[in-house]
Amino acid sequence: MQRLVDAFVNSVRAFRRLAATETAFQQELLLLALALPAGWFISVSWRGYALLVGAVLLLIMVEVLNTGIEAACDAISREFHIDIQLAKDCGSLAVLISIVIAGGVWGIAIIERIIGAPI
């Protein structure tokens, strides 16, 4: 049980630090705050609502992992190294892919709401 408590404390510490210092994380938290009520009006079912919110949470999760990769790389060296650049670029690509996924999920949901039928 203590490991779960310690993991929770570590997670809260990371959340606070990211929320205080990382602009992308702050923007995505704002997006989540907007998505919670907007998803309620856009979705046509509970499953749809969960998918809309889940897409934003996926984006946030990938951003957290990307920030972790960047922090680990910076801890190793701040000088240019081709492998470090690749690691950071891959993290950035993962964020971009999650943005495309979230945008697609939200786009389809909005279109379904407008036309009144599933695509």
Q: Of the listed 56, 59, 63, 66, which one is catalytic?
A: 63
Q: Is 63 a catalytic residue?
A: yes
Which residue is it, tokens 């891959």?
A: 90
Exposed (0-12), middle (13-18) or buried (19+): which is 87, by Cβ within 10 Å?
middle
Beta-carbon contacts of 53 under 8 Å, excluding residues fewer than 6 positions away, are: 32, 35, 36, 39
Q: Binding site for a divalent metal cation: what residues are annotated? A: 22, 70
Q: Max alpha carbon distance in the chain (Å)?
A: 54
Residues belonging to the binding site for ATP are 3, 22, 70, 79-81, 88-89
- List the beta strands (DSSP E) in the chain: none
Residues annotated as binding site? 3, 22, 24-28, 63, 70, 79-81, 88-89, 92
The residues that are catalytic are 63
